[in-house]
Amino acid sequence: MLAARVSELGAQITEDYRDRRPLLVGVLKGAFVFMSDLARAIDVPVELDFMAVSSYGTGTTSSGVVRIVKDLETDIEGRDVILVEDIVDSGLTLAYLRRVLGDRKPASLEICALLVREGAEDSGAKYSGFPIPPDFVVGYGLDVAEHYRELDAIRVFEPA
């Protein structure tokens, strides 16, 4: 199911960027597996860069404060940028990144999110994989305190 949906998202992006070379900006660490699969599913040349932001720390609830831990190495002015997110939850991180990246004057800025939490459907993600309920999830790059990223499927986190 994951692979099929990622392929569909790749096909949509391929169609939309047929004559362009988009820059995929992955939000580390959670989006790295999704972005890797997505980049291979896109049939136009893409470039990759990464940002790391923090709003969760080591817990399962957002701290409410977003900070950049690793910034882009690429100048995005005039570029077509697709921000690749693992999950849109409260929308706080996404709003922050839109503002920060928008200030850098890209030609376009779109969002591709693997998961969109119930209540965040109006996040503005042009490309979205799956809606999910409010459960905390892990796997396929998503974690709790750096655990469970290696799982090949997305699962509801159930504390021991």
Helices 32-41 and 2-16, interaxial angle, to 10°? 60
pLDDT 10s digits, 13-38: 999 999 999 999 999 999 999 999 99
Fold held by 2-156: Rossmann fold (3.40.50)
pTM over 0.95: no
CA 24 to chain centroid: 10
**Alpha helical stretches, state H, the chain:** 2-16, 32-41, 92-102
Q: Which residue among the candidates 37, 86, 89, 143 is catalytic per the annotation?
A: 89
Answer yes or no: 89 catalytic. Answer: yes
Supply φ then ψ for residue 91, to 5 degrees.
Answer: 90, -10
| Mean model confidence pLDDT for the chain | 92
Give residue 10's pLDDT. Answer: 98
